[in-house]
């Protein structure tokens, strides 16, 4: 069962937003002032919370969730 985006922390939602906009870990890290390793750890937690297997599925989840809000 997939969770919704409310299960994510504010920082995780921020990382997911950058991911959904096509940014790579290094770019996300630069934007947020954190290390690429920290981005990777955030993504691992995001995947687990959303019940997805990787970055493409997470980005798609975020895009679909945003489309539902509009």
Instruction: Domain ranges for the chain, please list them.
Output: 5-69
User: What pLDDT does residue 13 have?
Assistant: 96
Distance CA 61, CA 33 (A): 25
Domain range 5-69, its CATH number among 1.10.10.10, 3.30.1360.10, 3.40.109.10, 3.40.50.2300: 1.10.10.10
pTM of the predicted structure, to 2 decimals: 0.90
pLDDT in tens, 3-28: 688 899 999 999 999 999 999 999 99
pLDDT in tens, 24-66: 999 999 999 999 999 999 999 999 999 999 999 999 999 998 8
Q: Are 60 and 68 in contact (CB under 8 A)?
A: no
Q: Where are the beta strands (DSSP E) in the chain?
A: none
């Amino acid at each position: 069962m997939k969770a919704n985006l409310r299960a994510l922390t504010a920082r995780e939602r921020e990382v997911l937003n950058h991911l959904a906009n096509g940014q790579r870990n290094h770019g996300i890290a630069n934007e947020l002032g954190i290390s690429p390793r920290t981005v990777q750890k955030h993504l691992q937690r995001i995947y687990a919370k959303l019940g997805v297997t990787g970055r493409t599925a997470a980005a798609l989840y975020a895009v679909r969730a945003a489309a539902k809000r509009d």
